[in-house]
A and B are shown apart, each in its own frame.
Chain A
């Protein structure tokens, strides 16, 4: 199984680079089996950062991508889209969280954080080697909305949905809508009545 994995290590300005020695993580990544390319970016999520990924995929014929940066809960969709634009299946991406789980929580342990970052990259590369392309299925959406709560927020939401042309079910536990707002006399900042 010959993989051509590209590893992109993000400095995130100084968010990662101030604690993790990114250059040594890069050198380590280059030594890992299956890694065809490794680099350090200032901000991988930026437009130039994403362009660099796309360029490298073509130039080095990369078939898997590892991005060591922030949490996948933040930018996984961004990077999936980027590699898809370069012709790779979006599921051939793996992220190593070296910011939230590393540089930010070991601020005073540069050595420990760098070793950990290397491990996280190594784990991501190992997983990336096993990744397979996936095809997402599409399911229809029921074009109706449920709004739970008939206070001012629920009322506004129900009206906005309805004005957009969608069927809305507005569920309120009290016998009338209005919520706490209806109990107020005048309301700030307009000093007019609430109902």
Chain B
């Protein structure tokens, strides 16, 4: 930690958040909000004179509320940067007449009540997301009585109680009478591997954390009896099994079976009711402290950041990798990488390993010093353009420069264009070519698909990042569905021009599905909002023409929603079966007529 504070190439911005991210791989422009700490970070020597005189007392978050701090405080003794911070909502110093005690006490005059939040712009080529996770709050598991019984604590609270710099100076005590416990039980999988409440997955670290905790107790106080209630002990890593054996050799009892209930008796002791799965008997055991070994879960406060970075999450809520096996540290968005628990629960060693891996991967880009941009950007055909400006309006990247008053053709900034194709789909004059995803190419795919037996097929437009990937995931998961759908890949659902849909119906398609990322997940910021608007408009138009709008479907399917993909395909098949050959012929006739009218009108 101290190395980070010292390194000349590391600019540490604590008490700060990423506010905005623009740009693309190799060239991100990031706005960082630096919240005011009201203490000059560089000048403060962490002498603590300020806190000594501060009259405001608040629960200490670092100690999980087991002790208190002042309104001006250092988060913990080894904090980096080693500077105090004012909890301004609690501070009385805003009204100098009321307090200002810390200001008076500070010899170096580091305190500034008028300090303001400020924004900093930085330019970077790569981004590592190492935002971590949060720990499970077991209050909802009422049978364990956490918060109801003072001697039921979480594994995180245990860490602070046994820590030499913690609130008790490392003395393990019961929270009701402050005496050392004689019998301690650990309950595993609290919030993990739960079918109903909590998380369905294994949190990876809790078994070994408990094994470690039991060793700490036994090495300090060998006379404390320690029991562990568990489903399985997962000691799979290097050195883990020997640690588990060490715990057992110290006399820690491991009992297979999770308690169904904890009751408190008159002495404040706790009674655990458990079905011992070794012998099938229902047993009751008394302890004077119970530690709930809590799992890890995704931090939902990071949802906003996730959307800013156009990242997806897997079904468990953690961030989704580009490939779960072959690109485990790459985000699907180029230039962004993962480290630590943001991607999945993992221990310190794995977090460190992944961080080094992420830096090595990012280094591939940084070392080269330049990157190639895929040749899928848009181009304007000036001879067809009528300078309406719609392309510039719909571009999520502001990559099309157009000023109506200047009477110049719009211009695409190639480095800023991400190739979503929304401009191409929205241009009313066909004056935009999407390279490698041209109208001609997509229409040729539709024609080829529907040339024979069109009635048997469902035309599916799928975006590269979400729904196409969701179909891939259905494949790797071997989810079975009817063989009628045929996918046409576009980079974004925003590329799906109304004319593609109408063309498919004209060629006899019974059902057309347009699919893309969920709102907020779009790989091209919010291009899929244009898809939604376009499809809604198109459905109305179909109704007006006397074509059943149910035959045009719009579904959002994420890359991790293989099951949803399967279900949507089954639904498409159901709709397909409601369409008769007569209906399709009628549709073809209506659309041919409409087309003829349009041509005639010129």
A-to-B contact residues, CB < 8 Å = 71-74, 91, 97, 99-102, 104-109, 112-113, 115-116, 119-120, 122-127, 129-132, 134-162, 164-191, 194-195
The answer to whether residues A169 and B483 also contact, given A125-B448, A129-B444, A156-B351 and a CB cut-off of 8 A, is no
Q: Which of A116, A141, A162 has the most CB of B within 10 A?
A: A141
Complex formed: what's the CA distance from A50 to B448 in Å? 27
B193 within 8 A of A: no
Nearest B residue to A32 by beta-carbon distance? B448
**The one of A112, A143, A149, A171 that contacts B125, using a Cβ cutoff of 8 Å:** A143
A135: B residues at CB distance < 8 A: 375
Q: Does chain A have a CB within 8 A of B4?
A: yes
State the interface size on chain B (CB cutoff 8 A).
127
Check A151 against B448 for contact (C-beta < 8 Å).
no
Cβ < 8 Å to A, chain B residues 413-446: 414-415, 435-436, 438, 440-442, 444-445
A169-B441 in contact (CB<8A): no
Query: Given B80, B124, B373, which contacts A169 in the complex, CB threshold below 8 Å?
Result: B124
Q: Are A141 and B159 in contact (CB under 8 A)?
A: no
Q: Does B492 contact A (CB under 8 A)?
A: no
A104 and B476 contacting across the interface, CB-CB below 8 Å:
yes
Residues on B lying within 8 angstroms of A by beta carbon are: 1, 3-4, 7-18, 26-28, 30, 32, 37, 62, 64, 74-76, 78-81, 83, 85, 122-133, 135, 156, 159-160, 162-164, 166, 208-209, 211-212, 215-216, 237-240, 243, 305, 323, 339-342, 347-349, 351-352, 354-356, 358-360, 362-363, 365-366, 368-376, 414-415, 435-436, 438, 440-442, 444-445, 447-449, 451, 457, 464, 468-469, 471-472, 474-476, 478-483, 486-489, 566
Whether the pair A153, B130 counts as a contact (CB closer than 8 A) is yes
Chain B residues, Cβ within 8 Å of A131: 436, 441
A135 and B124 CA atoms in complex are apart in Å by 26
Name the residue among B10, B133, B451, B471 with the largest chain A CB count within 10 angstroms. B10
11 CB contacts below 8 A, A to B, read A120-B486, A137-B375, A140-B26, A152-B352, A157-B128, A162-B10, A171-B13, A178-B79, A185-B164, A188-B347, A189-B349
Q: Which of B14, B159, B239 contacts A176, CB < 8 Å?
A: B14
Contact B215 A177 (CB under 8 A): no
- Are A139's CB and B441's CB within 8 A? no
Considering only CB atoms, which chain A residue lies closest to B481 in the complex? A105
CA distance A174 to B75 in the complex (A): 9
What CA separation (Å) do A148 and B21 show in the bound complex? 12
**Once bound together, how far apart are the Cα atoms of A179 and B339, in whole Å?**
13
Write the chain A residue with the least CB distance to B566. Answer: A105
Would A189 and B243 be within 8 Å (CB), given that A130-B444, A143-B125, A175-B79 are in contact?
Answer: yes
Known A-B contacts A153-B130, A154-B130, A178-B1; the reply to A168 vs B9 at CB < 8 A is yes
